[in-house]
Amino acid sequence: MVSFDRLFSGRMGLGQAATQHALETQHEDMIVRTVKQRQTGEIHDAQYDYYGKRLATCSSDRSIRIFDVDGESHRLVETLKGHEGPVWQISWAHPKFGCILASCSYDGKVFVWREQNGQWSRIKEHTSHTASVNSVAWAPHELGPLLACASSDGRVSILSFKDDGSWDTALLDAHAIGCNSVGWAPATVPGSLTSQGPNSGKGPITKRFSSGGCDNLVKIWAYREDTKTWKEEETLEGHTDWVRDVAWAPNIGLPKNYLASCSQDKTVLIWTQDTPSSPWQKKALRDEKFADVVWRVSWSLSGNILAVSCGDNKITLWKENLSGEWECVSEMEEKNMAGGN
Amino acid sequence: MSTGIPLIQPSNTALTFNATAAKRSIFSAPTVDLNLTHGMVHDMDRDQNDEEYVAVLHLDPSPIKKDVSADSWAKTNRTLRSTFRPTTNEIAVYVAGRKAAEEFPTKQKSSVEDNTIFLCQAAIPKSRIPFIEQTFKVFLDIASKNPYKAGGTSDYKHHLERYNKAIEEHLAHLYVESKTNDTLEIEQETTLMESFSAVWQLAEAVFLKSDRNQPIAFMFNEWLATHDTSQDQELGKTLLADSSKLTHPDFWSYIRRCLLRGMIESVIFILEQTLNDEEDEQVARALEDLVRVLKDIPSSEKTFPPGEFHSRHMNWKEECKKFTQSKHVKHLGKGAKDVMKVLSCEAEEIIDVSDCWEEAVSGTFLFVHPDCERENIGRQILETCLPPFLESTDVTLLDRIKIAILQMDDVKTVRLCGEFHPWLVAHLSTVLQQYGYLDMSAIDLQDIATQGWDSNIHDFFVISYAQSLMSNLSLWEIVAGYLIRCGHTGRSTLSEWICHVPLNSSEKAHKVLKFCEENDLKDSLRSINRVMAVEEEKRGEYAQAIQHFIVSKDLDRVAKVVDNLVLGYLEHGQFDLDDTLASIEALDTTSTHVQFLRSYAGFHRDYKNCKLAKAGETLVKLLSNGTAPKKYWIVLLLDALPLLENKQQVIFDSSDTFVLMQSLEELVGSQYKSEYLQLLPQSSSGSTSTVEEAQLDVLRLSLTRNLARSFVHPPHRPDEDILMA
């Protein structure tokens, strides 16, 4: 057990001293088992569902595991198999669409899984990509059941689930060498919540997502209602090596768009945009580079805490202070590092 | 020897707690270095060094084995990653593969640690829940006041007392709990609450006291006695019990600390006890003189006419000077030297013999500037007292907060409290702002404010506190209660967050929905209703599903549920939806599907109750007035068969029969015929088209026969249908 610092306004580690417990996923490499050797089964992604009651993990062992998580108790409820390569990422759909999970894999496929009456089944196999699919993300629920997939073949595909049970697919040439990540923009325009009230029901809806690629670029894509097509809206230059992850902050009363990107170049950039038509401004999360590749950026639900996963085995939590500066409020690292290993 | 005389001058609070456990100080200044890497700030005025305040947490047990270096571990395709848990801001940390195993040149063995996810939960101690609930109520009460009209002294006193009471009750509970359950959690919680208490009461004394005539010097001494009990009570008891007190090595240092902390009565008591035992006349005389001097000290607690207290104090200083310079003093021994420094009433001397900055401030207040006004604390006291300690000792964040309060720097106080704990800053700023002691607009938020941030800083702090409570979902109503009072930002946050609150029971769902309704959270209401409807539909609770889909304005989903119901009927041949309809009929809806369902259910009810004419009339209406979607027409026509074939009574007259025939022809003559006839019952054998045609032929024949009958025996429409056997 360790102390867990509060993430909010204070930082003294008192009071909110919290707990940490472990959950063993039991992922293992299916192929290697056949030769009776234990092989790597590294987890590549872990995602909570909408209510935080279920945790899905995916791994190099080609499986997806789903756990019920309630306080300190957790129970493996399902193992989904079918991918023929490491499963890179998973994404839960909004519960209004049912209990639906998407997964993408090194095998170039995207699967959409659905649970009904306690039984999981694969309801869609998306095989349009010709190389590893590295990232999947469901759109905000206001936009309907839309799934974005990013692939090493350089393309991003957008799957839309139609009422009759069929799927439409749009394929976009996104990043020539390969695409590593996709992330959706919040459906509501920044500032609209504050200017019109959160429940006016009149806030404009935007249909945008971002992608990060091996061309060191972050791209913003927007849907044009007039032509019914996705268009590249903006190319954001700032990284000097592969962009590993992009994450759009949830828009909960925030006055502007916040987009975080992290890269092989050991930096995290925070991109901000006041309105959908304003220019993007970039700002490094911190002045100096991180110690290693930054693999993942993830926002809290309230959009004011950013978790940064760096290759130096540290997870750092960042928060924008009252003056608009980003400050690291907490670090998590494995125990032995403290001993100087 | 009497043991009834207090060795310290405890406040009522301390007595109430009866917290005399030797191992824990009652109100010791809490340390905040629980996280090993917390840095200390050595300059009270310098901006905080962010790096130094980063808390480092370690995953335990480590995912890296002890005999493996982090570097070599990382080279085996491993790294750490994390993901946020929605709703609660908790974090899951796991060992992740950097690349696909297939891409990696050598296969690596996996371990249990590789498959372990560390669920880091910002759990709130259970013991704190009543405190959270209690202080939320006070917050609600304050928030309901108009900030510009509330200002009455009695109001704020009342609220401050309620906050104090909440802290005290929680502390009392913790002290009791610690006797049987001395865990780290209890210890940390106690430390936290003691900090809250210390900051809260100091802020109250400096910022909020309505009785400005009460000298701050006296109040600070009171506060110090209550909140910093580093003065060892046990030592006091030991000294009292000692028959040779003056020779005890700690006697004079104990006296010195008591004097600096304003515990004059305790000093006088112990000196008198010493005097009683003293046989040496010269020593006794010196002690007598010392006691006399101490008894003559003008009490800063009393109120004097303007200027009188100052002149009394100056006279007393002279008296002290004479005493400290008298030849008798040397008989008290070398140990008394520091006490004489205190009684010199010189700030430098007092600082020189003080162990900590609070002691120096207290001593300077008492012996140098007892009539110091609050506004002059910084200039008269702090400027002199603090530098030596800031140079030589570590100053914690809690120290900086206390100093900011003494400086009467409200903005700095709030900023630093914001660094310390979200509860403290949220509630202290609420009180200070609400009663006009704090101008929140003075706090710099320019970067955000210029971008249209439509909230004030106070909201920012309260939202932060509410977010810190999110990890405990049983507190959702409190979280929501705070957020809803934080302007647009709070509402927006709440609007999204409340949708993530798990609806574990119908009671909870009802509560959440009611909250959304009452607070006009329309988007949330829609979203929650929609999710509930999906779940209900999955469970086959169609009535509830329709009800919630209607509220969420998902009329297409209503249509789907109705489809399911009709399909269920076709499959099972039963249409018993009384409960469903009872709920649906209460809804005011324009959904044609619901209207159809109502009428269709009415048809079945009438048919079941042998009101055949009425049932027939309903069917015809459904077909003729457009209520029934066309895909259901074939179902309605098949439902008409038993009525058409009724031997005792002609149900449909000729015009009704024409409507039925026309409807049938519209289906079979349409280019969408196959689609319209999809709901025809399928046969398990034979080709679909053959079965379909056979059923249509039956229908046609029946319609034709009924048409003939209707001409011969036009139906009469009695009030009541004939009851069929």
Dist CA A253 CA B292 (whole Å): 67
pLDDT at residue A24, rounded to an integer: 59
Alpha carbon separation from A30 to A46, A63, A83, B113, B629 (Å, rounded): 19, 8, 11, 18, 52
- A182 versus B56: the higher-pLDDT residue is A182
The pLDDT, as a whole number, for residue B449 is 40
- CB contacts under 8 A, B 199-258 vs A, are none
Among the ranges given (B208-212, B360-364, B499-503, B650-654), the one the predictor scored with the smallest mean pLDDT = B208-212
Mutate to test the interface with A, among B78, B84, B557 (most CBs of A within 10 A): B84
How close B88 comes to chain A (CA, Å)?
Answer: 8
Q: Please tell me which of the candidates A7, A40, A295 has its beta carbon nearest to residue B110.
A: A40
Chain B window 15-44: which residues touch A at a Cβ cutoff of 8 Å? Answer: 30, 32, 34-35, 38
Residue window 72-101, chain B: list those with CB within 8 Å of chain A.
73-74, 77-98, 100-101
Q: Which helix (H) or strand (E) holds A320?
A: strand A314-320
**What residue spans of B573-608 are helical by DSSP H?**
578-585, 592-608
| Residue that wins the pLDDT comparison between B49 and A233 | A233
β-bridge partners, A133: A151
Distance to chain A for B380, nearest Cα, Å? 31
Measured between alpha carbons, how far is A186 from A143 in angstroms, rounded to an integer? 10
* pLDDT of B375: 83
- Comparing B357 with B574, which gets the higher pLDDT? B357
Residue type, B401: I
Name the residue facing A85 among B84, B96, B100 (closest C-beta): B100
Query: If you average pLDDT over residues B386-415, what whole number do you get?
Result: 85
Region B497-509: what's the mean pLDDT? 88
For B120-147, write each residue's pLDDT tens digit: 766 788 889 999 999 999 999 888 876 5
- Return residues 301-330 of B near A (CB < 8 Å): none
User: Which pLDDT value is given to residue A288?
Assistant: 92
Looking at per-residue pLDDT, the higher value among B519 and B627 belongs to B519
B424–chain A Cβ distance below 8 A for any pair: yes
Question: Which of A37, A87, A91, A199 to mutate against chain B (most B CBs within 10 Å)?
Answer: A199
Average the pLDDT over A26-55 and give the result: 60
% chain B with pLDDT above 90? 14
Q: What's the pLDDT score for residue B37? A: 29
pLDDT of residue A31: 24
Average pLDDT over residues A67-92: 89
Report which of residues B648 and A87 the model is more confident about. A87
Q: Which tokens belong to A109?
A: 């496929």
- Mean pLDDT is lowest, of A81-85, B300-304, B379-383, B407-411, for B300-304
Residues of A in contact with B56 (CB under 8 A): 330-333, 338
Q: How confident is the model at residue B161 (pLDDT cuts 50, 70, 90)?
A: confident
Query: In chain A, which residue's Cα lies nearest the Cα of B452?
Result: A255
pLDDT: is B694 or A204 the higher one? B694
Chain A residue numbers with beta carbons less than 8 Å from the beta carbon of B521 are 198-199
Nearest CB neighbour to B77, from listed A11, A42, A341: A42
Q: Which of A222-231, B321-330, B463-472 has the highest mean pLDDT?
A: A222-231
Distances (CA, A) of A7 to A269, B413, B659: 21, 20, 70
Assess contact for A46 and B92: CB atoms under 8 A.
Answer: yes
Tell me: pLDDT of B444 over 70: no
Residue A173 or residue B145, greater confidence:
A173
Mean pLDDT of B703-714: 86
Flag whether pLDDT at B448 surpasses 60.
Answer: no
**Chain A residues closer than 8 Å to B38 by CB:** 12-13
Q: How far apart are CA B633 and CA B241, in angstroms?
A: 103
CB-CB under 8 Å, B81 with A309: yes
Q: What is the mean pLDDT of residues B545-571?
A: 81
A25 lies within 8 A of chain B by CB: yes
* pLDDT for the residue B105: 59
Among the partner residues A6, A23, A252, nearest to B493 by beta-carbon distance: A252
Give 3-state DSSP helix, strand, coil % of chain B, rounded to 5: 65, 5, 30
- Count contacts between A and B (CB, < 8 Å): 421
Name which residue leads in pLDDT, A29 or B135.
Answer: B135
> Cα–chain-centroid distance for residue A79?
21
**Are A96 and B534 inside 8 Å of each other by CB?**
yes
The ipTM estimated for the assembled molecules is 0.81
Residue B442 in contact with partner chain A when CB distance is under 8 A: no
**pLDDT for the residue B100:** 60
How far is A274 from A192, CA to CA, in rounded Å? 11
Mean pLDDT of chain B: 77
**Rounded to whole angstroms, how far apart are CA atoms B515 and B508?**
11
User: Which has the closest alpha carbon to B64: B102, B100, B116?
Assistant: B116
- Measured CA to CA, the distance from residue B678 to residue B631 in angstroms comes to 8
How far is it, in rounded angstroms, from Cα B136 to Cα B118?
32
pLDDT at B296: 82
pLDDT band at B229 (very low <50, low <70, confident <90, very high): low
Residue B422: pLDDT over 80: yes
More confident residue, A218 or B91: A218
pLDDT reading at A148 higher than 60: yes
Q: What is the largest CA-CA distance in chain A?
A: 62
Q: How confident is the model at residue A159 (pLDDT cuts 50, 70, 90)?
A: very high
Nearest Cα residue in chain B from A7: B468
Which residues 172-201 of B have a C-beta within 8 angstroms of A? 184-185, 188-189, 191-192, 195
What is the DSSP code string of B297-350? SPPTTS---TTHHHHHHHHHHHHHHHHHHSGGGGGG-GGGHHHHHHHTT-HHHH
- Better-predicted residue by pLDDT, B10 or B540: B540
Quick one: average pLDDT of A39-53? 81
Given an 8 Å threshold on Cβ–Cβ distance, is A307 in contact with B57?
no
> Which residues, in sequence order, are bridge partners of residue A247?
A260
- Chain B nearest-CA distance from A256, in A, is 8
Distance from B178 to chain A by nearest Cα, in Å?
A: 16
Structure tokens at A211: 């992608």
- pLDDT, residue B61, reads 66
| Residue A29: predicted pLDDT | 31
Q: How does residue A70 score in pLDDT terms, banded at 50, 70 and 90?
A: confident
Q: Cβ contact (<8 Å) for B107 and A32?
A: yes
A302 vs B contacts (CB less than 8 Å): 89, 463, 467, 493, 497
- What is the model's pLDDT at position A16? 42
Do B433 and B486 form a contact (C-beta atoms < 8 A)? Answer: no
Lowest mean pLDDT among A136-150, B152-166, B294-308: B294-308
- The listed range with the strongest mean pLDDT (A94-103, A305-314, B391-400, B569-578) is A94-103
Q: Between chains, do B38 and A296 touch, taking CB under 8 Å as contact?
A: no
Instruction: Please report, rounded to a whole number, the percentage of residues in chain A having pLDDT higher than 70.
Output: 79
Cβ(A39)–Cβ(A28) under 8 Å? yes
For residue B687, what pLDDT is reported? 54
The pLDDT assigned to B555 comes to: 82
List CB contacts (< 8 A) between A328 and chain B: 50-51, 54
pLDDT in the model for residue B349: 83
Do residues A150 and A134 lie in contact, with contact meaning Cβ atoms separated by under 8 Å?
Answer: yes
| pLDDT (mean) for A6-23 | 43
Question: Mean pLDDT of all residues in chain A?
Answer: 81
Across B49-71, average pLDDT? 63
How remote is the C-alpha of B484 from its chain's centroid?
12
Banded model confidence at residue B434, pLDDT cuts 50, 70, 90: confident
B81:A331 CB<8 A: no
Mean pLDDT check: name the lowest of B300-314, B409-423, B509-523: B300-314
DSSP at A139: P
Per residue in A258-269, pLDDT (tens digit) is: 999 999 999 999
